[in-house]
Chain A
Amino acid sequence: MNVFFPVYAFDLLLLALALWAAWLAWTRSRAPFIRVFATVAALLWAFSIAASSWRTYKLGAGLGTASSISSGLTPLEGKTRVCSFCYSGPAGGVYVVAGAKMSHGDYTISRAAHYSLRFADGSVRLAGRSLEPGCYEGDAPAGTRVEIARAREFRLEVGKEASCK
C-alpha cells in the first residue's frame, strides 16, 4: 500500500473542488473580466495542487531503494501480527520497519537491495537462518525473507543508506 495514499486522496478532492470552481466561474457569469479572472485563479489553484502532488510523488520516489514507493511497490512487503510502538515506512533515505516489541512478523524484501537488521533480544530468522541479537548489514537478493518470531528493539532498514552505524 502506498504510504502517501491519504495525501493523494486529499489532493484529488481539492483538485475536484478547484476544477468545479473553475467550471462554475466560467459558466455562471457573463461579465467578461470576472469570468476570465475567476476561472484563471481557480485553474491556478488546480495547478498548484497538481504541483504539490507531484512534489509528494518525487519525495516518495526518492525514498527507499530505486523502486518507487509511490508506484505502490514498497521495497518490503509483509506485516507483523503483534507490535508495540511500531513504525513502517520511509525514514530519510531508507525504508524502515521498526518496533519496540514485535512478534509473528514476516517480511519479504521484494527486490535486491542493501539492508541492515538490528534487534536487542528475541529470535529472528533471515533467509531461513537464525540470528543472534545484534546488528547485521549486507546485500539481500530479491525474495529474501525476514521472519520475526519475537524481537525487542527491532529495526530493519532497506535502501542504499541502510547501515549499522
Chain B
Amino acid sequence: MNLIALEFRKHRVLWALLLLAALLWVSWMIRLATASSQLGALAANMGFLAVLAPAGLLVPVALARSLNSEARGPLAFLLTSPRSGWLHVGIRFFAAFIGLGLYYALLLGLSAWLFGRSGVDFQPWLAVAVWGYGMAALAAPTIMLALVYGLLSAAYRPGKAGQIVAVAGFFGAVGSWSWLVSEAMKLDWLPLLKAPHVVVSASLMRYFGWGRDSLDLQPMFESVFKGVPTAPLFVGVLVFVVFYLAAAYIWEEVEWA
C-alpha cells in the first residue's frame, strides 16, 4: 500500500491536473445538459473528449521520464532496494493503471450519460464493456511499453547509448504489437463479439434530418464488420504479459547505483 501511495505521490502534480480537468469538465457538462440544450452538451462533450482522452498519454510519458531521472539522480541508490524487480515494475504499472482506469471511467461514464439523455438508447453494460476493452487492449500494454522504454534508456548508463537503444526498442515493440494485431485479425477461430444494439431515437433522427423512424446501428455495423473482433484484446494481454516479464528481468539485471 505504501508503495502505491508513493507512486501516486511522485506524480501528484500530473494526477491533480488530470483530476482537476476531468472534474471541471464533468461539472460543466452536467450544468450544460441540465440547464440548456442536450445536443449542445453532447457536441461540447465530443469536442472536449478529443482533448481529454489523449491527455491520458501523459501518464505513461511521466512513468518513463521518472524511471530515467530516478536512475540518474542523487537518489539512485534507493533503487537498489531489496524488493524485487517484479514488485517495483508491478507497482508502477498498477498505480498508473488504477489512475488511468478511474480517469477513463469518469470520461466514459459522463459520455454515456449524455448520450443516454440525448436519445441514444443502449444497454448500460456497453459503457463498461468499452472501458474494459480499451483498458485491456490499449492502456495496459501502453503503460508497460513506457516502463520498458524508461528502463532501457536507464539501463545503458553511463553514456548516451541508452536513448538510441530505447527509441529503437520502443519502435520495435510498437511495430511488432501492431503486426501481431493485424495478423491476429486474420485468424477466423478467434471469437467475434456480437455488436451491441445502439438505437438512435426517432426524435433525434428527425432533428438531424436523417429519417422519421428510430434507427438501430447494429445491423449497419454488422453488415460491414460482422462483429467486434477480440483479437486486439488477446494481443493486448499477450503484449502486456511479455513486456511485464521483460521489464522485471531488466530491473533485476541493471546495476542501478
What is the size, in residues, of chain B's interface with A at 8 Å between Cβ atoms?
22
A69 at the B interface (CB under 8 A): no
Q: Across the interface, do A44 and B164 meet the contact criterion of CB distance under 8 Å? A: no
Chain A CB count within 10 A is highest, among B164, B165, B171, for B165
Residues of A within 8 A of B167 (CB): 17, 21
Q: Across the interface, do A41 and B250 meet the contact criterion of CB distance under 8 Å? A: no
> A10 to nearest B CB, angstroms?
14
Q: Please encode chain A, from 26 to 54, with 1 for each CB lying within 8 Å of some chain B CB and 0 for all others.
A: 00110111100110111111111000000
Residues of A within 8 A of B169 (CB): 21, 25, 37-38, 41-42, 45
Q: For the complex, give the distance between the alpha carbons of A40 and B152 in Å.
A: 13
Chain B CB count within 10 A is highest, among A17, A41, A46, for A41
B168 at the A interface (CB under 8 A): yes
What is the chain B residue whose CB lies nearest that of A31? B253
| SS of A interface (majority) | helix
Q: Across the interface, do A22 and B168 meet the contact criterion of CB distance under 8 Å? A: yes
Q: For the complex, give the distance between the alpha carbons of A37 and B165 in Å.
A: 10
> B66 to nearest A CB, angstroms?
20
B211 at the A interface (CB under 8 A): no
Q: For the complex, give the distance between the alpha carbons of A8 and B165 in Å.
A: 23
Residues of B within 8 A of A22 (CB): 168
Within 8 Å by CB of A44, from B156, B161, B175, lies B175
Q: Across the interface, do A43 and B172 meet the contact criterion of CB distance under 8 Å? A: yes
Size category of the A interface is: 20 to 34
> A142 to nearest B CB, angstroms?
41
Q: For the complex, give the distance between the alpha carbons of A24 and B164 in Å.
A: 8
Q: Across the interface, do A48 and B172 meet the contact criterion of CB distance under 8 Å? A: yes
Residues of A within 8 A of B172 (CB): 18, 40-46, 48
Q: Across the interface, do B155 and A45 meet the contact criterion of CB distance under 8 Å? A: no
Q: For the complex, give the distance between the alpha carbons of A41 and B176 in Å.
A: 9
Q: Across the interface, do B155 and A34 meet the contact criterion of CB distance under 8 Å? A: yes
B159 at the A interface (CB under 8 A): yes
A5 at the B interface (CB under 8 A): no
Chain A CB count within 10 A is highest, among B156, B168, B246, B250, for B168
Q: For the complex, give the distance between the alpha carbons of A17 and B164 in Å.
A: 8
Residues of B within 8 A of A48 (CB): 171-172, 175-176, 179
Q: For the complex, give the distance between the alpha carbons of A38 and B120 in Å.
A: 48
What is the chain B residue whose CB lies nearest that of A14? B171
Q: Across the interface, do A45 and B171 meet the contact criterion of CB distance under 8 Å? A: yes
The 6 A-B pairs of least Cβ separation, nearest first, read A21-B168, A48-B175, A45-B172, A44-B172, A41-B169, A41-B172
Can you show 29 pairs from A to B with CB atoms below 8 A apart?
A: A17-B164, A17-B167, A21-B164, A21-B165, A22-B168, A24-B161, A24-B164, A25-B156, A25-B161, A25-B169, A28-B161, A29-B155, A31-B253, A31-B254, A34-B152, A34-B249, A38-B155, A40-B172, A41-B168, A41-B172, A42-B168, A44-B172, A44-B176, A45-B168, A45-B169, A45-B172, A47-B175, A48-B171, A48-B176
